[in-house]
Structure 1
Amino acid sequence: MQFLSVRRIDRSFLRGLAVCVLGALPLRCIPAAHAQVLDNDIGSAPSIRVSTPLPAAAPLTTSVPPFSQPEALFPNPFGLTKYLRDRGVNFLFDNTNEFAGALTQPTPGFRNYRQGASNAGQYANELDINWEKLAGLTGFATHVITVGRYGTTANRMFGDWLDHASEDYGGGGNVAVHLVLAYGEETLLGGRVAIAAGRIPLASDFAASPLFCNFMNGSMCGRPKGITDSNYMPGYPASTWGFRVRGRPTRSTYIQTGVYPMENGIYAVAQHRTGFKFNGANILGYTIPVETGWEPVFAHGTLPGHYKVGAAALDEPMPDNLFDSDGRPYALSGRAPRMHSAGWESWVMFDQRIHHPKGGGKDAGITILTGITYNDPHTSLRNYVGYLAFLDRGFWPSRPFDTIGAAFTYTKIDRGVSLTDGYLMDVGKSLPNHATGIQGHAEVLEVNYAIHVCRGVVFQPVFEYYFNPNAQSNLRNATLLGFKSHIEIL
C-alpha cells in the first residue's frame, strides 16, 4: 500500500511545523495553573459570550463583559500585554495548523483522485477594545478579527466536497490579511441586553458553541455544516453587515435575533477575497435568525449545560433542487431550476457535562454534545445533519488539561438532489456539487486526543473515517490520520 509521500505534503505544513517547534523552544513554555484548551481560541469569543450565563448576583449597572484571555506562550512580553489590558485593549495572536493524510487508496477510475496528505491552517489576530475604559463610553466595546489561511484539505483527494478533513481551509482568500469580523457591541443592564452591529459572521452567534472546535473535521468544527448549507449564510471566516440583539430574561436563559443582509458570492474570491469589501452592491436579500437557549449549571456549578433551539428565515432567491418553473424535473426538461423567493433553516442543539471528577479543575469532566440541523427540503443540499459527540477532560489526574474526544456526524442529502443526480446520470450530463455518483448520505467519525504540551500549546493527534465520501456509495470509505496544533502566541 502506498503510504504518505513527503513530496505530497503541502509546503505550508513545514511552515506551520516550524512555528510550532520554534514557539515551543523558549524556557517560558512551562505548565500553567489555567491551561489553554481548544474551546478558547481566537474565533470562539462570540460563542463563549452566548454560552456564558449571568452571574448569580448580576448587578443592573452596565459594564463591558470580560474579554477572552486564553493562556499564551508569551503572556506579558515586556509588560506590554498588562499595560494594554489595564487600559481596555486586548490583543491576541495565535496559529492553528491541521494536517491529515489518507491511509487508504481512493476509488480507482478517477484520474484526479489520489492517495496523499495535506496541510491547512491559519494565523489569526484579535483586537478587542473596551471603550468604557478607554474613552468613558459605558458598556461599549469593539471586536476585530483577521486571519491569514494557507494550505489545502485532504478530503478533496478522494472525492469528498461535503466535509473538510481540515476545518481551517477555505474562505480566507489566499491573502495575508482577511477580515473576518469587525463590529461594535453595547452591553446594557448588567449584561441582560447586548446589541451588536457591523461586519458579523451570523454563525458565530447562532447555532454556535466553543466546544465544536475541539474537533478538526469541518462537519463539526466551526459549526455543524448544515447551518451554512445556503451559499449566502455567512460562517467564519466570512461575514456580512449585520445587526443582532440578545436579551437574558433570567440568569440562565436568553433569546436573540437579528437582521443580516445576504451577499452573493460570500465565499467567492471575486467579491470577498480580503473581506474588506463593504459596499452593498451584491446584497440580494436578508436572513432573520431567532434562537432561544437555557444554560443551567447543576451540582454546585460543576455541571454546566447549554440547550438551544433556533430557526432562520432566508428572504433571498434560491433555486429548487429538483423542479423547473413548470413543475417538471429540470434535469429532464433542460430548463433552469425554479427560483424560490425565500427558504428556511432550523436547529436544535444540546451539550451537558454529566460528570465532574472529584478535585478536578473547573473545565474537567465528561461532556455530551448532540443536535440536529434541518433545512428547507426544496432548496437545500443537506436536508438534515445530526451529530453526537463526547469530550472527557482531565481523565488522568496527572494530565488535568488533556482532552479525549469522539464525534460522529450524519448528513442526509435532500431527496430532490438525489433524484436530480439520477436523472442527469441517465442522460449523460455532469452532476452538481462535484458529484460523480448519486448523493444520498454521508457519515464522518473522528477520535482525537488533545495534549496540553505546555503553556499556550496544544497538540492533538486525530483519526478520521469518512463513510460514503461526498454522500456517494460509489466511492470507497477513507481513513485518515493527522494532527491539529494550536499555539496561542500572545
Structure 2
Amino acid sequence: MARHTTWNHSRYFLKSAIWSTLFSCLVLFCHAQALAQTSPSKDTLEVHTTPPTPTYEPTAYPMDNVGEFNVGPIIPTLAGGPHLFGDWHGMQPWLLKHGIFLNFSLNEEFMGNITGGRTRANVLAGQVAGELDIDWQRLAGIDGMWTHMLVINGHGRSFSYTLGDSITNPEQIYGARGNVVAHLVELYMDKAFLNKRIILSLGYIPTGSFFAYDYTACFFMNVSVCSNFAPGKYNPGGRDWPSGNLGGVLRFRPTEQTYIMGGVFAVSPHSYNGGISGWAWAQSGLGKISSQFEIGWMPEFGKDKLRGNYKIGYWYDNSRYPNLYQDINGNSFQATGLPRRYEAGMSVAWLMFNQMLVRNGPGLMNGLMIEGGAAYAQGNEVAMRDREWVGFVDSGTPWSRPNDSAGILFQHVDMSHTLQQQQESSRALGLPYLSNQWGPVYGVQRWENMYEAFYSFNLAPATNLQADFQFLQHPGATTTFKDIAILGGQFTTNF
C-alpha cells in the first residue's frame, strides 16, 4: 500500500510538473512576443526541416537558390537536401531548376525486448517511400501553386502486438500500410494568395501533417508522438499518416511569427481511409466531417536566434460514436444486453511546444532543444483520455560529430475512466476484454509510462544509424505483464 501511495504522489508530481511547464509556455505565447529578437525568413507559417535522421512524416519547406522559402509543405522531405548518391549525375539540379522535387527514402528498424512483455520477440520492419512534389511556378509559370504526392511500401510485422502493448507503440515504421505494393499517403495541391499570407490546400491529406505536428518528435522511434500526438491520430476524425483524408486546410499568417489554421476533412467509418491501398477515395459512409483548428507562434530569441514553436489546437468530429460503457439507460451494455448509448460528436484538444535552448551550429535544428505537450480526448468515447510528454534533443552536437544527434523522452498516458468501467464489467461478468482504438486488451487499463533514449550516428550524406532504448512501465496500461525493456536500432537513408 505504501508503494502504491508513493507512486500516486510521484505520478501527481510528474503530471503537475508537465502541466506547469505547458502553462508557462502558454503564458509565454500570450505575453512574451516582444522579447523575440528575430530576423524572420519569408516562409509560409511554420518552417520545418528534416532531422539528421530522415523520417517519413515531417513537413519541410524547400529553399530556392536565393534562400527564399517556398509554399510547401513537402513530405517526407530532404527536398533539395543531401542524398546518399549525390546529385544523381546532374539529374537532381536539373529537376530542381524545373520545380520537380523527387526523393526516395529507406527506413529499416529492428527491435527486441530483453525483459518483460507478453512474449519475448524481435522484429524487423521497414519502408520505402517515394515522393514527388512540383513547384508549378518553376515548371509552368503558375504562381504560388504546388502539388504533392507520396507513396510508400511497408513490410514486417507488429512488434507492439508481440509485447502485449499497443498503447505506447515503440516502433516508428509499421501499421496502416495495407500490405500493398504502393500505398498512397497523400495527393493534394497548395495555392498561395496575398504574397503567401494565405495558403489553401485541397486533396487527400494526412491531418497530422498540418495539425498537432512537431517536427522534432520523429527523432524518437516511439511513434506515439511522431510526428503528431496520440490520442487524436488514432481516431476516425483525426487519423494520420500513413492515412490521408479527403479535405482542405486554410492557413493564414497575420505576422511573420504567427499563424491561424483551420481544416475540414471527411470522416471514414472504415478501418482504412481510402481503402487498404489508400487509392479508394469513393468509400461509402463519408457523410460526416472533422473540423480542426490551430494557432501557433514561432519566435526566435536572442542573437543566436533560438527557434521555438508553440501551438494550441482543437478538433471536433460531428459523427456519432458509442459510449464505451453505457447502454441506452446508462447501465453496463454488457450486463443488460441493451443497445449501446451513442454520443453526438467527439472532441480532442492539444497544447505543444519545442524550443531551442542552446545553439550548436548554424542550422535551424543545430542545438539543444526541449519539446513537450499534452493532449486530451473525450473519455466517454475514446479509450485514451490524456497524454503528456516532455523530452530533450541535441543535434548539431558539439563533440566533433555535428551531424549526430541524441535525445531522451518521457511520456505518461491515462486511460479513460469510462473504459475502465467497461473493462471492470467484462471482468465481473467473465467476458473477454473488448479491443479498442489501440488494439487488443489484456486487463483493466489505467496508466502507462514510457522512457526513451537514443543516439543517432551519421554514417554518410543523408544516412544514419540510430541506437535506441525504451522502457515501458505498465505495458498496455495494465499490470498483466511485467515492465518491458527494449533495445532497437534504425537505419535511414535518403537516396
- Shorter-normalised TM-score: what interval? 0.7 to 0.9
Residues 141 and 279 of structure 1, relative CA distance in 2, 3 Å threshold? same
Residues 1:240 and 2:245 are matched in the alignment: yes
Residues 1:275 and 2:278 are matched in the alignment: yes
Alpha-carbon distance in 1 for matches of 2:72, 2:386: 35
Cα shift readout 1:140-174 (whole Å, capped 9, x = no counterpart): 11000000011123222121122222121011100
Structure 2 counterpart of 1:379, which letter? Answer: E
Residues 64 and 232 of structure 1, relative CA distance in 2, 3 Å threshold? closer
Alpha-carbon distance in 1 for matches of 2:193, 2:270: 35
Give how far 1:335 is off: 2.5
Match of 1:7 in 2: none
Give how far 1:361 is off: 4.9
Of 51, 55, 75, the residue aligned with 1:37 is 51
Give how far 1:41 is off: 4.1
Alpha-carbon distance in 1 for matches of 2:96, 2:405: 30
Alpha-carbon distance in 2 for matches of 1:344, 1:362: 34
Structure 1 counterpart of 2:347, which letter? Answer: W
Alpha-carbon distance in 2 for matches of 1:36, 1:235: 19
Cα pair 1:458 1:485 within 8 Å, conserved: yes
Match of 2:309 in 1: 306
Alpha-carbon distance in 2 for matches of 1:454, 1:438: 47
Residues 82 and 264 of structure 1, relative CA distance in 2, 3 Å threshold? same
Cα shift readout 1:175-206 (whole Å, capped 9, x = no counterpart): 11000000000012232111000000111110
Of 86, 102, 114, the residue aligned with 1:103 is 114
Cα pair 1:284 1:317 within 8 Å, conserved: no
Of 384, 407, 418, the residue aligned with 2:409 is 407
Cα shift readout 1:213-254 (whole Å, capped 9, x = no counterpart): 101012222322212242342200001201110000000000
Matches within 5 A, 1:322-341: 322-341=325-344
Matches within 5 A, 1:62-461: 64=71, 68-106=79-117, 113-267=118-272, 272-357=275-360, 361-433=363-435, 434-461=440-467
Cα pair 2:54 2:493 within 8 Å, conserved: no
Cα pair 2:55 2:218 within 8 Å, conserved: no
Give how far 1:66 is off: 8.5
Structure 2 counterpart of 1:486, which letter? Answer: T
Q: What TM-score comes out, normalization by structure 2 length?
A: 0.84
Residues 361 and 207 of structure 1, relative CA distance in 2, 3 Å threshold? closer
Give how far 1:360 is off: 6.0
Structure 1 counterpart of 2:222, which letter? Answer: N
Structure 2 counterpart of 1:191, which letter? Answer: K
Alpha-carbon distance in 2 for matches of 1:401, 1:201: 29
Of 470, 481, 487, the residue aligned with 1:481 is 487
Cα pair 1:407 1:445 within 8 Å, conserved: yes
Alpha-carbon distance in 1 for matches of 2:234, 2:94: 43
Q: Is the partner of 1:72 in helix, strand or coil? A: coil
Match of 1:21 in 2: none
Q: What TM-score comes out, normalization by structure 1 length?
A: 0.85
What residue ranges of structure 1 are gaps of 5+ in the alignment? 1-34, 107-112
Q: Is the partner of 2:418 in helix, strand or coil? A: helix
Give how far 1:378 is off: 1.6
Residues 42 and 310 of structure 1, relative CA distance in 2, 3 Å threshold? same
Over the residues paired in the alignment, what is the CA RMSD in angstroms? 2.2
Structure 2 counterpart of 1:401, which letter? Answer: N
What residue ranges of structure 2 are gaps of 5+ in the alignment? 1-48
Q: Is the partner of 2:292 in helix, strand or coil? A: strand
